[in-house]
A and B are shown apart, each in its own frame.
Chain A
Amino acid sequence: MSTTMTITPEPATSDGIGDKPVLRVRDLQVTFTRAGKRIRAAKGVSFNVRPGKMLAIIGESGSGKSVTVRALMGLLPPSAKVAGSADLDGQELVGLSDRKMRLVRGQEISMVFQDPARSLNPTMSVGAQIVESVRTHRTVGRKEAAERAIELLKLVRLPAPEKRFHQYPHQLSGGMRQRVMIAIALASDPKVLIADEATTALDVTTQAQIMELLVDLRERLGTAVIMISHDLGLAASYADEVLVMYAGQVVEQAETSELFANVRMPYTRALLEAIPQVSRPSHSALTVIGGHPPDPSQRIEGCPFRPRCVRATETCVTAPALLEHDAGHWYACWHPVTGDPREETES
């Protein structure tokens, strides 16, 4: 194990006086065993989430971002081994029994999934699915639970909530279904709401509406939001803090404004460059990151991004530690980028 894993960052506390994190994740490790191979999906992930703030976890498919939050929810298959620590308002989540985890899930921490066409049960009415969420954690009567469900539908600004209550998922649009999912997730006023690629399956306009809703709910309810996405642009627009993951590790982390003003990690920069720009000449080839993410079953020597990195040198054979190089800005790189990435690309 390299030194990267033992570093525990305390990121972005500069403005957060008295802003105690509601969730403190430290050195979270997730290992799968598949066909005799050990697959390390998360290798020492650490972060804080503060109430009323939105943290964006960004990375490619297979970077370990979904595995990390699923580990927090206890939603990984039994074959997954989770180590490290995740402190949710004083309660340790790692190693919690299935029974106790079930009380936390939906109550303290809840989740909205990627595809709202699939994440709602097609055979149950919208109302029944919200009522189920309400009654799982509270002993309330059907009528009271139904009232709460309507209230939740109003909270997520679903038009005509009384009518929607009796409808089935297939009768709703994608955006409306995702609002229903958020209503389900908020049923017990959770401290942390995880949105796992929650807007990826939606069209751009709906995506913006759902993101606005999440931002608004975060402020109004004081819920901490963890947003999982592969879309840096989305993170730049809505998140308070950004954490970039690569090959199961955190490679860069800072407040949104700081991170996008001063991208340091070459991987983050490559991701930024991969976003198509209107300002670029039309029909010019899109920028892609060469190569593939490393095979998670293979042991990586040194910096995991090294094989794809344009700045890599001999030094990178030794893994760089995730360190707070600038105030509130953490990254793991021997050769950080300096200056505006756009300028460098255009030249």
Chain B
Amino acid sequence: MTDTAVHPHAARPDGTKPPGRQGRGVTQGAGSGSPLLRLFGRRLLMTIPLLLAISVLVFVLLEMMPGDPARNQAGMDASEEQVEAVRQRMGLDRPAPERYFGWLFGLFRGDLGQSSVSGQPVADMIADRAPVTLELVVLAFVVSLGIAIPVALMAARKPGGLFDRATMVVAMTMLAVPNFVLAMLLVLVFAITLQMLPAIGFVPLEDGLVPNLRSVAMPVLALAVPLAAFYTRFLRGDLVEQMNSADYVDTARSKGVRPGLVLWLHAFRNSSFGLLTIVGLNIGTLVGGTVIIEQIFAMPGMGMMMLEGAMSQDVAVVQMCVFIFAAVAVLANLVVDLMYAVLDPRIRYGSH
């Protein structure tokens, strides 16, 4: 996706050791001007061709989708003439490049097209649906990191200890369970057996915080638990490696700093960059995960909107949803790159 390789820790998720882990750092903007601003500008510029490429890809993929939207719209019993009339009304008789550029320029004007099923403007539909998905994704990240960080820190205090081993067993189990299976189990336990939470449906925030949170609790958990397991495993491993082999950890110990503080102030600070990389890379996966989870819990979010659109061959809707999902993944990685710059002094200050 985006160029996350800008950071020395970026190559870490696959377990390989990047060269110069704490060496010279990254030489950014070795000229005049603030290195941070230059970095920001360059990254932002790079996303433009990327987003354009994605929009072409999405368009081509939908062109290749089997079935005829016009026939679908006109109905099974419609005559050829009727289908042709619908095709003209939908503008599908124009050549593909013309339709692509029409769509693209519409995008710049803020016109995202209309649903061919309901005739509703796609922009209005997204305004309705996006907040639901956004809430799920944000809460899933907050919950997963809220679990992973303290658990990994505790596990790394005594590698091989009882807590550490128990944590790893649980994490492995959770990683092995797909989130839709987890969703079913959650429904079984919390909605059916304990009757604590509503099984399906979304209550908007306007109807009260508690009902809202109760309605999203299970979908958020279904998304967050596998992520938490993944983050815990990664962070715990990285922390243990830092504690065992990083020289600055030895320095901190030789100062007489308490082990808990060495872990928190020294090892975790450095491990957090690797974690950040992983979180950034996960955003795309997580947004994809909402498509399934929203379906299971009947959450009226973007994922459900896209699926409904796909079922009814609502090209304008599907096209916009896929494009937004891709754009979110790209922008999320951009934000991660910029967060490095803010958090890591080696990038923030350049080399001199």
Contacts and interface: CB of A to CB of B under 8 A. Distances in A.
Secondary structure call for the B interface: helix
Interface string B235-276: 000000000101110111111111100000110011000000
Give the size category of A's interface with B: 35 or more
B251 A121 contact: yes
B84 interface: no
Among B248, B251, B270, B349, which residue has the most Cβ atoms of chain A within 10 A?
B251
A103 interface: yes
B251 A181 contact: yes
B345 interface: yes
B244 to A, nearest CB: 8
Contacts of A106: 254-257
A120 B256 contact: no
Contacts of B351: 170-171
Contacts of B250: 75, 113, 119
B164 to A, nearest CB: 14
Nearest to B246: A118
Contacts of A118: 22-23, 246-248
Contacts of B270: 121-123
A132 B255 CA distance: 8
A124 B344 CA distance: 9
A48 to B, nearest CB: 22
B273 to A, nearest CB: 8
A119 B248 contact: yes
Contacts of B246: 118
Contacts of A199: none
A171 B352 contact: yes
B109 interface: no
B113 interface: no
Nearest to A108: B256
Contact of A113 (B23, B251, B345): B251
Given A170-B345, A184-B251, A107 B25 contact: no
A102 B251 contact: no
Nearest to B273: A123
A122 B251 contact: no
Interface in A116-146: 117-125, 129, 132-133, 136-137
B346 interface: yes
Nearest to A98: B259
B344 A110 contact: no
A104 B255 CA distance: 9
A111 to B, nearest CB: 4
Contacts of A123: 269-270, 343-345
Contacts, number: 93
A122 B255 contact: no
B349 A124 contact: no
Contact of A115 (B244, B247, B349, B352): B247
B22 to A, nearest CB: 5
B254 A168 contact: no
A113 B253 CA distance: 12
A279 to B, nearest CB: 38
A119 B247 contact: yes
A171 B253 CA distance: 24
A105 B253 contact: yes
A43 B255 CA distance: 27
Contacts of B265: 124, 132
B345 A132 contact: no
B89 interface: no
B24 interface: yes
30 contacts: A75-B250, A98-B259, A102-B257, A102-B258, A106-B254, A110-B255, A113-B250, A113-B254, A114-B247, A117-B22, A118-B246, A118-B247, A118-B248, A120-B248, A121-B251, A121-B266, A122-B22, A122-B25, A122-B248, A122-B270, A122-B345, A123-B270, A124-B265, A124-B269, A132-B255, A133-B255, A136-B257, A168-B346, A171-B352, A184-B251
Interface of B: 22-25, 244, 246-248, 250-259, 265-266, 269-270, 343-346, 349, 351-352
Interface of A: 73, 75, 77, 98, 102-107, 110-111, 113-115, 117-125, 129, 132-133, 136-137, 167-168, 170-171, 181, 184-185, 187
Nearest first, the 3 closest Cβ-Cβ pairs linking A and B are A106-B256, A118-B247, A168-B345
